[in-house]
Chain A
Amino acid sequence: MVYHFDESNFEAEVLKSELPVFVDFYADWCGPCKMMSPVIDKLAAKFDGKIKVGKVNVDDNMDLAQQFQIVSIPNMVFIRNGELVDRVIGANPKEIEKKFAQYAQ
């Protein structure tokens, strides 16, 4: 399942998550983000129970986007124990899949 994170639930769902969290910062008008969407759905199913997967709409959550210094999307980060541990910028399915395998350990 793919969560929808926003400024109201980010702390509880992401920063205090037991599992490592993958967050996809996206926007509806971003072509490459749309490109990543089916990939992320697939990975969320594959790593269910190992990595929590969710999206943040940057238009609706500008403060979060700023906090994570998002100036280019798609922009995907891994957060573990409340800390940003990795980041992938750009539509790169192979790279993302590799990192999922790494953080699922």
Chain B
Amino acid sequence: MLDLIIIGAGPAGLAAAIYAARARLDFLVIEQNYINGGQIMDTYEVDNYPGLPGISGMDLAEKMSSHLERFGVEIQNAGVEDLDLAGDVKRVITDEGVFEAKTVIIASGAMHAHLGAEGEERLGGRGVSYCATCDGAFYRGKEACVIGGGNVAVEDAIFLARGCSKVYVVHRRDELRADRILQDELLSLPNVEMVWNSNLKSVNGENSVSSITVVNKLDGAEREIPLSGCFIAVGIEPRSSFAKNHISMDEKGYIIADETGTTNVPGVYAAGDVRTKQLRQVLTAAADGANAVTSVQHYLLTHK
């Protein structure tokens, strides 16, 4: 019987695995993708992780994975579909079979949120994108927009502005939520236009994006902006649907847990973006992974 199953191999799951390996626990990591790293794989630059200034998300993911490989840990590729947490033996039901362990750390992370605007889904991959680092290069010399006002939105806009002739940043409020250092950089760029107090009403175009329509929240005025790329960065939603009805979550689907990772189910812990917390970053995710393994060790000592 395994001591522990870690669900997810992003920063939280990889940190948990490193701590679990060093604690000599008998454990398994399950990851649905064929490569580790989670959301940082889509991140052009991670500039706030101590000791690694300006590293690309892909390089950071590779560094974290190779750190884990030093301990000889293998990762099971499988998509988690359901959980059975009622007894002392916790069961993780996946599309590659059922895995059992004494404890579980859920570090399944989060994914980009959709807005639900008209045309958003229909034109997905045809001008609508959620990954500026993946698709930005196709809009070199063209006009594009970013929807959102947080760190990811502003980073995306700065990245796009290097190649696009013009970048519109559409934000529902009159100030950005992003870190000041990012805001200052964005607002200094000559080819960026801020579209304040506005919501995206629709993305328009037949087979590819030709324009967006935004509505000003203050006066209700509509504006059509011709452009070819629409990047949506309006936050994230947790990947927790497989845990529904088994664990307490808040109304958005984040698993309720404090910094020890403790959930309402004994022996089951949550780490990283999937849990309720103030700040969702690589740094805090990694810290969560370490904390959750400490909680697992306490549990294993008292439940022999």
User: Which of these, B34, B37, B124, B125, contacts A39 with CB under 8 Å?
Assistant: B34
**Which of B134-142, B174-182, B280-288 participates in binding chain A?**
B134-142
Q: Does B208 have its Cβ within 8 Å of any Cβ on chain A?
A: yes
Interchain CA distance A90-B112 in the complex, whole Å: 13
Structural contact, B125 and A59, CB atoms closer than 8 A:
no
Q: Does B241 have its Cβ within 8 Å of any Cβ on chain A?
A: no
Structural contact, B131 and A27, CB atoms closer than 8 A:
no
* B residues less than 8 Å from A73 (CB atoms): 134-135
Q: Mark A20-44, 1 if CB is under 8 A from B, else 0.
A: 0000000101111111111100000
- In B118-151, which residues have CB < 8 Å from any A CB? 124-127, 129, 131, 133-135, 137-139
Interchain CA distance A100-B138 in the complex, whole Å: 27
Residue of A nearest to B128 (CB): A72
User: Which of these, A33, A65, A71, contacts B208 with CB under 8 Å?
Assistant: A71
- In A62-79, which residues have CB < 8 Å from any B CB? 65, 69-73, 75
Contact (A32, B42) CB under 8 Å given A72-B129, A72-B138, A75-B125: yes
User: Which of these, A39, A72, A94, contacts B134 with CB under 8 Å?
Assistant: A72
Q: Does A14 have its Cβ within 8 Å of any Cβ on chain B?
A: no
Structural contact, A32 and B125, CB atoms closer than 8 A:
no
Structural contact, A31 and B125, CB atoms closer than 8 A:
no
* A residues less than 8 Å from B124 (CB atoms): 89
Contact (A93, B34) CB under 8 Å given A71-B208, A73-B135: yes
Q: Does B7 have its Cβ within 8 Å of any Cβ on chain A?
A: no
Q: Does B267 have its Cβ within 8 Å of any Cβ on chain A?
A: no
Contact (A71, B138) CB under 8 Å given A31-B42, A35-B34, A89-B125: yes
* A residues less than 8 Å from B126 (CB atoms): 69, 71-72
Q: Does B10 have its Cβ within 8 Å of any Cβ on chain A?
A: no
User: Which of these, A37, A58, A72, contacts B125 with CB under 8 Å?
Assistant: A72
Q: Does B57 have its Cβ within 8 Å of any Cβ on chain A?
A: yes
Q: Does A91 have its Cβ within 8 Å of any Cβ on chain B?
A: yes
Structural contact, B134 and A69, CB atoms closer than 8 A:
no
Which positions in A face B, CB cutoff 8 Å?
A: 27, 29-39, 58-59, 65, 69-73, 75, 89-91, 93-94
Which positions in B face A, CB cutoff 8 Å?
A: 33-35, 37, 41-42, 57-58, 61, 79, 124-127, 129, 131, 133-135, 137-139, 207-208, 228-229
Nearest first, the 8 closest Cβ-Cβ pairs linking A and B are A89-B125, A31-B41, A72-B125, A35-B35, A71-B138, A72-B135, A30-B134, A38-B34
